[in-house]
Structures are given as C-alpha cells and as structure tokens.
Amino acid sequence: MVIKIYHNPRCRKSREGLKFLQEQGHEFQVIDYIKNGISILEINEIILKLHVSPKNLIRTNEALYKNELKNLNLKDEEWITIITENPQLLIRPIVLAKHKGVIANPPENILKLV
C-alpha cells in the first residue's frame, strides 16, 4: 500500500504524524507541500479521499485566514486556489492511502488507514 503524508517539518503535529508512521513500519512518501507547493490535482485527491469540502482543509488559526478570509463566502474552486497559492493554510498532517485519507491529528487516526 502506498501511503502519502502531506508534511510541514516546522509543525509539531505534523512531525508527530510522521514519527507515528515511521514507528508503524509502513512504507510511505513524504510530501513537503510547504517547500514544493501543492497542486489543484493533489488538493482534489485529498478532498475525494477525506470526503470533505475544500474549506474544511483550511487552518482557521492562521493569521491569513483570520485577517483576510474568515468572513468570505467562497466557492469550492476558490478555496482550492487559495490553498494552492497559500499552502501554509492546509490543515496538517494529512495522510492518504489508496482509497481513503485522514487528518492525522491525533497521529493514531492513521490506524484507520491500515
């Protein structure tokens, strides 16, 4: 099974999720979406596997969200564009398996995939 973790190395919760995956002994791919960006295709895969709307992928405690986005009523496509342009807004960590995914906070949520 191919597992992907959307990881921000500067985030404690993301590091905990990565450590949990390592301790479980599964093979996985680390995607540093902060360094490398995230595509619309990747966001659509996350939405599909998590069964959520794009707005549910937003970190609402980020200053950008609080100051500029909080009260906006945007379409899904607009939220997706905002995430691609501001990857720090993506909730983390996100772990995807072949057919489903989880927000790995707490890290034990990863057990739902394996």
Active site residues: 11
Q: What pLDDT, in 10s, does the model give residues 54-111?
A: 999 999 999 999 999 999 999 999 999 999 999 999 999 999 999 999 999 999 999 9
**In Å, how far are 49, 52, 54 from 44, measured between CA atoms?**
9, 10, 8
- State residue 26's pLDDT score: 83
Identify the CA nearest to 48 among candidates 112, 111, 94: 94
Q: What is the pTM of this model?
A: 0.93
Domains annotated on the chain, with CATH? 3-112 (3.40.30.10)
